[in-house]
Structure 1
């Protein structure tokens, strides 16, 4: 087989600026000119599986048959087609567009393209980094109005960290104003900043990067008095990882951090990732489904870290396997003693209608116990007091980060009002959204 085409060496974007329209075109051009070993490995596995199953022969004989004249010529034909239409036609067309429209390097991506790229990074962002592909998202802070943070900031700073395959734009929607708006309304001297990052990277790698970014932020802005971290889903784990390495590396920002809020974060793993891992493990035992087993394995290292909620480098750096049995081998990552930690969980259960199935799936992705940091092993239990926990019934994983009830609770936690003693009760509240909405609907129908 001909040698693989090397990376395009005349174009590279390695700075802290978000991808432009030109980066998007060049990124796809690089994908077309860099045939992945995974693609050829998958094609090889498909052929081996089909031959061994249909001809009732073992894998070694199937592989010898693959090296026969007809199949060998077929492989060459597939390679030539990919090279001809990908490397020699489509990629040059994309680069031809860049040459004729150089202003695309200064054009930002549309919101839809940004969201699509965030999803791609969640699935394959680690691969983009490995290939030095400009599709890889850098870690960038945005202000409350969607612009890259550049000006001076001071006072109390709140950093929002999104979850897997999401972006900084996911903290509000058309129906709710979002947590940032609620917090901004509490006092004048505070700042909301929104992190955007490559969620396909290792959580611990993003944690280290966030720690370094926050250190740079306070060095450029000495008037910052305190830092609060709010993370949704994977974002909560990235915040915990940043605190872990901020303490370990003696970062100055660490001592200015005051509050950590995790919303639907899988502190002890996400059931869906473990299900995918078990499915991947079981599929290889049945004929003609090894192909699906390898397809299931096409997921980023960031997703793999969600299996048990890994936030440290040594949770994964000595483990080379992706396929096969692997137990929870995490190392403890206790919360800093000076940080006020608050945990929010969602569940599709209703307060008056509870089932074992809904209890397991939690908010569809994360169970209540995992989101609340509760673990039978004391080494992993986050030991957050009950007054700093809240469970929202009838609220799923994809709306919990901007729901008005969650925003209200977080506001009460971060900005307590001593003149309202009843707030102490609200710290322990459980919002039964599903039953409330159902009863309200029935009342409206009765009035009609």
Structure 2
């Protein structure tokens, strides 16, 4: 079958939408419908229990004829969803040619990043086409880590200093460019480093992304086209936790790239968690308090593993493994200090206009508390120890403003600039 080249109108549409998006939408719609059916049945069964009618095989499932009706509806939904998914999987390759797709629009990329941040673990588990795979990117293109000749060609002009930028929750690599400024380009022009940007599914567990980042950095460092002397990791928000997870996973696996890691920079990183996720957990608890509202708790439990990791700042697999992430409110983390032998810096934003005890306790950058971003904790074992001149608070600066602040950029240049050798007498 010969495919005709898309028209200009079709190309414009393909920048925002792909034919495979139809299959992705069908999968999401099927899951959403099944979820709504489950909520309705849960409420129905709560009422039945109040009048003494038995439950079905599961506590939140209705029994008797009512349960059979719900089971039938659920079965039809699954049958139709799987049928459509199978048909689309067969037909789409016949009418779609990925090689003819234009570069995706920034709007499409941003929507996919946000969707992965909220539902990324579910997207991956269901094989949804919208799942974002982890990529290291240079000058807007994915680096082919599995093809050494092409990788070296892509990295023409690389310097001995590798800068890896790791974005935050619901974001992607393109969003380092904000307000006409890009920290990667700025640092490259001032320090001569080569900026490589990570793109990843921020809805997965932070430890999972950290392990994969550690593996990809090992492959990149081994094939760097010039002798690699320095690696700097720069993480914004969740990205700082992913960077810490990568350092930990690399140490456990005995990888080589950490030997070249010289700097670790955090911008608004919730080292000890963020209050928005704790609020989400509080809503889960409130909904569970009543048998009539408990089924609606499933809506809150749609949020991804990446989001729930932000409740306390989970970095390692042991922080969450074996626990119900929607029920455990306690902080189970084992203390994990900053990596030894690495110069670590942290930049914290606050909406407060000036320093004050109240502002430092109550105000942060709008998403991350000031103390969390600075690594401070009431438990001395959990504190992250940054040197006095390796931490700075930026006033009147919101969470996303840390990405576009010229003052933040200049501070990073001061932190990362090579120390000049002592002058001869």
Q: 2:216 aligns with which of 213, 216, 219?
A: 213
Question: Of 161, 164, 171, which residue of structure 1 is paired with 2:166?
Answer: 161
* Number of corresponding residues: 392
Alpha carbons 2:348, 2:394 under 8 Å: kept? yes
Deviation at 1:257, TM superposition (A): 0.5
SS state at 1:391 partner: strand
SS at match of 2:403: coil
- What is the CA deviation profile of residues 251-289 of structure 1, one whole-angstrom value per residue up to 9, with x for unaligned ones? 111010000101111101111111111221122113532
Match of 1:307 in 2: 311
> Residues of 2 paired with 1:411 and 1:23: CA distance?
43
Partner deviation per Cα, 1:226-251 (whole Å, 9 max, x = no partner): 10000001100000111112222221
Preserved contact between residue 283 and residue 293 of structure 1 (Cα < 8 Å): yes
Does the C-alpha gap of structure 1 residues 75 and 160 become closer, same or farther in structure 2, counting only changes over 3 Å? Answer: same
Contact 2:37 2:70 in 1 (8 A): no
- Aligned mates of 1:242, 1:59 — CA distance in 2: 52
- Aligned mates of 1:323, 1:180 — CA distance in 2: 36
For residue 89 of structure 1, report the CA deviation from its aligned partner: 5.2
Q: CA deviation at 1:359?
A: 4.0
What residue number does 2:203 align with?
A: 200
Find out whether 1:345 has 2:348 as its counterpart. Answer: yes
Whether 2:331 is the aligned partner of 1:334: answer no
Report what 1:377 is aligned to: 379
Instruction: Kindly report which structure 2 residues correspond to 1:17-416, keeping only aligned pairs within 5 A, or say none.
Output: 21=18, 23-31=20-28, 35-36=30-31, 40=34, 43-50=37-44, 52-53=46-47, 56-57=50-51, 60=54, 66-69=62-65, 72-73=68-69, 76-77=72-73, 79-80=75-76, 83-84=79-80, 86-88=81-83, 92=87, 96-103=91-98, 107-143=102-138, 145-149=139-143, 150=151, 151-152=154-155, 153-173=158-178, 175-188=179-192, 190-221=193-224, 223-286=227-290, 288-319=292-323, 321-351=324-354, 359-415=361-417
Change (3 A) 1:58 1:197: farther
Q: Distance between the aligned counterparts of 1:59 and 1:349, measured in 2?
A: 56
- In 1, Cα distance between equivalents of 2:88 and 2:319: 44
- TM-superposed CA distance for 1:75, in Å, is 5.1
Deviation of residue 25 (structure 1)? 4.2
1:14 is matched with: none
2:4 matched residue in structure 1 = none
1:123 is paired with a residue whose SS is helix
SS at match of 1:269: coil
CA change 1:155–1:352 in 2 (3 A) is closer
Deviations 1:58-116 (A, max 9, x none): 684597993343663365246536644x4445874686454223246755432222111
Moved more, 286-295 or 310-319: 286-295
SS of match in other structure, 2:399: coil
Q: How much has 1:292 moved relative to structure 2?
A: 3.0
- Residue by residue, what CA displacement relative to the aligned partner does 1:325-379 show, whole Å, maximum 9, x if unpaired? 43111012211221111101111222178756x8435112210000001112222
Q: TM-score, normalised by structure 1?
A: 0.78
Q: 2:235·2:266 contact (CA, 8 Å) conserved in 1?
A: yes
Q: Where do residues 430-445 of structure 1 align in structure 2 (5 Å cutoff)?
A: none
Residues in 1 aligned to 2:319 and 2:65: alpha-carbon distance in whole angstroms:
46
Distance 2:305 2:93 in 1: 32
Distance in 2 (alpha carbons) for counterparts of 1:366 and 1:232: 11
CA offsets, 1:376-423, max 9 Å, x none?
22221111112111111222112222222211211221126869xxxx
For structure 1, which runs of at least 5 residues remain unmatched after alignment?
1-19, 420-448
Q: Is the 8 A contact 1:363 1:397 kept in 2?
A: yes
